Structure formats: structure tokens, C-alpha cells
């Protein structure tokens, strides 16, 4: 009888213990139809059905951005997968300025985005505008004009909300760390932000962070790290999301590689903070190869499957 009581107590603890599986499970496996076709392989690896993808429109030129709208949104039509669509504020080539956008020069592009989402069954899509704006690598980097970034973000939201049948959620998404600007200097306002996102990648930029455990503690407690993200969103009454996250290798040597500590830490953080969704960046990009599903990082892959897979 005492043994049975112990078993029942253990089951009760498991029932109330926060789980990384409780939040919506997402992945990026490639753009548009390529990503959709690659989902089954990731589901087989993880042992879990993918519930969301975080895809992105082209950032190369205005022409490629516009041509990608119907392709990307059309590829996910009927998939049953929820969509967070990353929408550039300008392309890398001849994009113009943030002030140009704030004045309405590109309004028709964003009307096109909204209409395509509605036409393809995503009137409630999450729209991630001008993500990772606090770095210096995006053409819409806010450090060069924070007021312009805010005004342009607000303009895009107004234009997209003005399209009939839309019920979008708009996602404001800094990269973890401060980078080129305090991200709060580019917060566009509670009336135009529905979700506070964040991208978190496992990188080593200092000898002080070479140890995986110390590096994880830094991700939690650094200025504009994970604890800040949760507190900032709560202060503004917004849910959080993790639109991109991953560990792997970079050609410049700053990737942390096969890091099960990072994967376990993120799983525990999701269990504690309960974001709307998290989306692993399972992609063998030349810029940052973070693919787990091919088991090139066996320790990280094993932890991922054990913490997120329903079959475990």
C-alpha cells in the first residue's frame, strides 16, 4: 500500500510539473513549399507533430520580396500548420530608408501581404515585422533611426489591419542581447504589438562564455536576455514567443556546436515561461548550420527529442 501511495504521488507531481511540451511546437525547415515538404522528416526525428512554422519573405530586392508573397503564403495553404510570417521592412538592395516607409511609399506591398494571407487561409497569422532590429545586420536596423523604425512599424500595422477580414497578431522581435541599440528604444507601442518575440542562438563571442553552463547562465541574466524578455512582456501585458532558436556551427567559429546544455536550458525555460510558441531553426544554412534532425549534433539532438517529443 505504501509503495502504491508513492507511485500515485509521483504521478501527481508529473501531472502538475511544467513541461516544454505544453507550449506550441514550431520549426523552420526551409522557405515555402520546400519547408512544408521537409516537415515529415523533422516530425519523425522529434516524435511530435509540428504545429507552427516561422517563415520569411525574401529580403533580396523589392521585386523578389513581392514575388515571394504569393508563393510563401500559398505553399502553406491547407497544411494545418499555423504560420508566423516574417515580413521585411525593406530589402538588402536599394531598400530606401525607414522614413520612406513611414511616409507610405511601400504601403501597397503590405496590402499585398495581408490580402495573400487572407486568400490562403491565414487571416489570423502572426506577422513578425522587421525582426532582429536591434542588431546591425538587417537593412532596417533601428540604431540608425529608432523613431523611423517605430513610425514604419506602426504604418505597416495600420495598412495590414485595414485589409478586410484580417485578425493578425503583430510580433515585435529583438535578437537576444543588446547589440547595436537598447531594443526598448524601438518599441512601437502596446496598441500595435500583440506578441513580444525573441531570437536566441547559441554563440560564443568571449572566452568567458566558452563553458556551456556559464554561457547558459549568461543567456538568462544578461541585459536584454531571457529574464528581461519575460519581464518586459509582462510589464506590457503581452505574451512571449521564441521565433528562432538553435545551436550549431558558424563559418567564423562563433557557433557553440553540439551543445546539449543549451537545448536543455531552453526546454526548461519554455516550461517555466510558457511562451505562445517556440520554433527551432532546423536549417543547414551556410551562415549558421543549426540542423539537429540529421543528427550531426548527436548530444543536442538526443536532448531535443527527449524534452520535446511526445513519444519519449
pLDDT tens column, 106-115: 999 999 999 9
Question: Is the separation of the CB atoms in 279 and 53 below 8 Å?
Answer: yes
Q: How confident is the model at residue 19 (pLDDT cuts 50, 70, 90)?
A: low
**pLDDT recorded at residue 3:** 35
Q: How confident is the model at residue 12 (pLDDT cuts 50, 70, 90)?
A: very low
Q: Residue 258 contacts by C-beta under 8 Å, 6 or more apart in sequence?
A: 247, 296, 297, 298, 299, 300
Against a cut of 0.85, is the pTM above it?
yes
Tens of pLDDT, residues 196-227: 999 999 999 999 899 999 999 999 999 999 99
**Mean pLDDT to the nearest integer, 119-140:** 98
| CATH architecture of the domain with range 51-193 | Alpha-Beta Barrel (3.20)
The pLDDT of residue 10 is above 70: no
**Phi, then psi, of 270 in degrees rounded to 5:** -60, -40
**pLDDT recorded at residue 6:** 37
3-state secondary structure the chain: CHHHHHHHHHHHHHHHCCCHHHCEEEEECCCHHHHHHHHHHHHHHHCCCCCEEEEECCCCCHHHHHHHHHHHHHHCCCCCCEEEEEECCCCCCCCCCHHHHHCCCCHHHHHHHHHHHHHCCCCCCEEEECCCCCCCCCCCCHHHCHHHHHHHHHHHHHHHHCCCCCCCEEEECCECCCCCCCHHHHCCCCCCCCEEEEEEEEECCCHHHCCHHHHHHHHHHCCCCHHHHHHHHHHCCCCEEEEEEEECECCCCCECCCCHHHHHHHHHHHHHHCCCEEEEECCECCCCECCCCCCCCHHHHHHHHHHHCCCC
Q: How confident is the model at residue 158 (pLDDT cuts 50, 70, 90)?
A: very high
Per cent of the chain over pLDDT 90 is 91
**Mean pLDDT to the nearest integer, 248-255:** 96
**Mean pLDDT to the nearest integer, 144-160:** 98
Domain with CATH 3.20.20.80 in the chain: 51-193
Task: State how far the Cα of 198 lies from the Cα of 203, in Å rounded to an integer.
Answer: 15
**pLDDT recorded at residue 20:** 65
The pLDDT of residue 53 is above 70: yes
**pLDDT recorded at residue 74:** 98
Per cent of the chain over pLDDT 70 is 92
Question: Is the separation of the CB atoms in 278 and 237 below 8 Å?
Answer: no
Tens of pLDDT, residues 56-108: 999 999 999 999 999 999 999 999 999 999 999 999 999 999 999 999 999 99
Amino acid at each position: 500500500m505504501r509503495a502504491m501511495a508513492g507511485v500515485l504521488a509521483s504521478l501527481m507531481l508529473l501531472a502538475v510539473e511544467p513541461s516544454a511540451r505544453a507550449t506550441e511546437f514550431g520549426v523552420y525547415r526551409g522557405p515555402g513549399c520546400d519547408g512544408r515538404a521537409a516537415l515529415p522528416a523533422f516530425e519523425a526525428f522529434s516524435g511530435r507533430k509540428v504545429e507552427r512554422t516561422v517563415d520569411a519573405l525574401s529580403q533580396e530586392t523589392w521585386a523578389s520580396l513581392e514575388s515571394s508573397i504569393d508563393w510563401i503564403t500559398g505553399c502553406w495553404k491547407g497544411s494545418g500548420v499555423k504560420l508566423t510570417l516574417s515580413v521585411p521592412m525593406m530589402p538588402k538592395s536599394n531598400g530606401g530608408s525607414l522614413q520612406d516607409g513611414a511616409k507610405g511609399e511601400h504601403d501597397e506591398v503590405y496590402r499585398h501581404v495581408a490580402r495573400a494571407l487572407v486568400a490562403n487561409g491565414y487571416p489570423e497569422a502572426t506577422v513578425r515585422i522587421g525582426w532582429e532590429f536591434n542588431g546591425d545586420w538587417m537593412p532596417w536596423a533601428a540604431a540608425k533611426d529608432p523613431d523611423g523604425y517605430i513610425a514604419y512599424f506602426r504604418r505597416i500595422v495600420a495598412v495590414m489591419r485595414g485589409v478586410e477580414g484580417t485578425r493578425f497578431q503583430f510580433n515585435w522581435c529583438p535578437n537576444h542581447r543588446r547589440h547595436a541599440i537598447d531594443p526598448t528604444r524601438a518599441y512601437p507601442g502596446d496598441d500595435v504589438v500583440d506578441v513580444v518575440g525573441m531570437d536566441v542562438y547559441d554563440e560564443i563571442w568571449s572566452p568567458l562564455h566558452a563553458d556551456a553552463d556559464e554561457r547558459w547562465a549568461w543567456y538568462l541574466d544578461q541585459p536584454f536576455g531571457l529574464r528581461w524578455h519575460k519581464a518586459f512582456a509582462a510589464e506590457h501585458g503581452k505574451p512571449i514567443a521564441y521565433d528562432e532558436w538553435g545551436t550549431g556551427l558558424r563559418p567564423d567559429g562563433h557557433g557553440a556546436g553540439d551543445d546539449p546544455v543549451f537545448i536543455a536550458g531552453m526546454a526548461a525555460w519554455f516550461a517555466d515561461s510558457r511562451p505562445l510558441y517556440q520554433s527551432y531553426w532546423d536549417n543547414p544554412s551556410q551562415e549558421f548550420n543549426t540542423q539537429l534532425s540529421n543528427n550531426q549534433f548527436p548530444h543536442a539532438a538526443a536532448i531535443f527529442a527527449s524534452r520535446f517529443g511526445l513519444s519519449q
